[in-house]
Amino acid sequence: MRRLEGKSMIVTGAAQGIGEGIVRRLADEGASVVVADLNGTKAEEVASSLRAEGRQAIAVAVDVAEREQVQTMIAAAVTSFGKLDVMFNNAGFNKPVGFLDADEHNFNSIMRVNGLAVFIGIQEAAKQMITQGHGGKIINTASIAGRQGYPEFAPYCASKAAVISLTQAGARELGKHNITVNCFAPGVVRTPLWVGLEQDMIAKGVIKQMGEFMESFSAGILLGRVSDPSDLTGMTTFLASPDSDYMTGQCLVCDGGMVLI
Ligand SMILES: NC(=O)c1ccc[n+]([C@@H]2O[C@H](COP(=O)([O-])OP(=O)(O)OC[C@H]3O[C@@H](n4cnc5c(N)ncnc54)[C@H](O)[C@@H]3O)[C@@H](O)[C@H]2O)c1
């Protein structure tokens, strides 16, 4: 028997990048998964490719910052798989703007998805798990940018520090229901998010060609390379599995040795 057999799990932002890596590995380990994303078409592509491999998967189109849509997503998991055991609040984005130029729109739009939506996701998953009465696991995607501030994307750093704080607050509230809340902090991960960052940096004249920003940002990684989503999925599967049952309120850093705090 695979170790996540019989478990029902949602991963948001799962149509590509880190979320897709997480959800594919969970499904490989036997979990029934909801592939949730703003981009419903791409989410369905991931879910149908998993079904073609014999996995249990559905897709849900969702804006994670809209509470009613999050409730509908959770209801879809319960309708399809009978319950919700694990919720990954992974969806997020970045829009780098220089420290002195970042405005209210930049700050609020990033906080809405990376901060508020994680709060809503924790709350709504917890309500479902409390109703079920047998605990659960909530796992949020933070970042090394939640541990260290970078002036090129200050609002993103603030939003990821918020993820760590919400994880701790949620863990303190929900422990009595046997619901654990943890987060993980990737470093530099080769995903479509970075394509957008490089394009933004070229438009601002900060760099001249694609790849330059990632290269300069990653220069201090002790293991000498940036990561791929597959570098994270051992850790995320651990967090979703019974092996992590006695951990809560924690932030696991997986960055190849970049931020040593
Ligand atoms: N790539 C990195 O280097 C890196 C490093 C640290 C943390 N992270 C974090 O990891 C998570 C995933 O990042 P990624 O690199 O895979 O990014 P990505 O852009 O490749 O994928 C993010 C996915 O989230 C979805 N999404 C965005 N806003 C949404 C919303 N409002 N509702 C639902 N879905 C939404 C997008 O459609 C996309 O499919 C994010 O929280 C990001 O901040 C990424």
Q: Mean pLDDT across the stretch 237-260?
A: 97
Q: Which amino acid is at 26?
A: L
> Does residue 3 sit within a domain?
no
Burial degree of 30 (CB within 10 A; 0-12, 13-18, 19+):
middle
Q: How many domains does the chain divide into?
A: 1
**pLDDT tens sequence across 103-128:** 999 999 999 999 999 999 999 999 99
Query: Which pLDDT tens digit goes with each residue over 77-103?
Result: 999 999 999 999 999 999 999 999 999
Please report the pLDDT score of residue 206 as a whole number: 84
Q: Which residues pair with 137 in a beta bridge?
A: 86, 180
Q: Provide long-range contacts, Cβ within 8 A and 24+ apart, for 243-246.
A: 244/137, 244/180, 244/182, 245/180
Could you tell me the two tokens for 188? 């530099």
Check if 156 is active-site. yes
| pLDDT computed for residue 27 by the predictor | 98
61, part of any domain: yes
- Can you give the CATH number for the domain in which 43 is found? 3.40.50.720
pLDDT at 146: 98
CA of 113 to the centre of ligand 1 (A): 10
State what percent of residues in the chain have pLDDT above 70. Answer: 100
Separation of CA 13 and ligand 1 centre (Å) = 6
Q: Which atom of ligand 1 is nearest to the CA of 229?
A: 16
206 within a domain of the structure (yes/no): no
Residue with CA at minimum distance from ligand 1 atom 41: 92
Ligand 1 lining (C-beta closer than 6 Å): 12-13, 15-19, 37-39, 62-65, 90-93, 113, 141, 143, 186, 188-189, 191-194
Q: 136 lies in a domain?
A: yes
**What is the number of the ligand 1 atom nearest to the C-alpha of 63?**
32
Residue 216 within a domain: no
Check if 127 is active-site. Answer: no
Considering the candidates 42, 83, 95, 156, report the single residue annotated as catalytic.
156
Q: Which ligand 1 atom sits closest to the C-alpha of 42?
A: 39
Question: In this predicted model, what pLDDT tens digit does every residue of 16-28 receive, in sequence order?
Answer: 999 999 999 999 9
Structural contact between residues 19 and 13, judged by C-beta atoms closer than 8 angstroms: yes
Give residue 33's domain range: 8-188+227-254
- Say whether pLDDT at 1 is over 80: no
Q: What is the share, in percent, of the chain residues with pLDDT greater than 90?
A: 92
In a domain, 209, yes or no: no
Q: Is 10 left (phi over 0), alpha (psi -120 to 50) or beta?
A: beta
What sign does the CA torsion over 229, 30, 90, 16 have?
A: positive
pLDDT digits (tens, 9 = 90+) for 38-67: 999 999 999 999 999 999 999 999 999 999
Q: Is residue 31 very low, low, confident or very high in pLDDT (cuts 50, 70, 90)?
A: very high
Q: Looking at the domain assignment, is residue 112 inside a domain? A: yes
Residue 72 lies inside a defined structural domain of this protein:
yes
Mean pLDDT of the 233-256 span: 98
The alpha carbon of 180 and the centre of ligand 1 are apart by a number of angstroms equal to: 22
Mean local confidence (pLDDT), 225-243: 98
Measured CA distances, 235 to 41, 176, 187 (Å):
28, 25, 13
Which of 84-88, 129-133, 200-204 is predicted with the least confidence, judged by mean pLDDT?
200-204
For tokens 């028997």, the residue is 1
CA-closest residue to ligand 1 atom 38: 13
pLDDT in tens, 148-164: 999 999 999 999 999 99
Average of per-residue pLDDT values in the chain:
97
Residues 137, 56, 65, CA angle at the centre, nearest 5°?
50
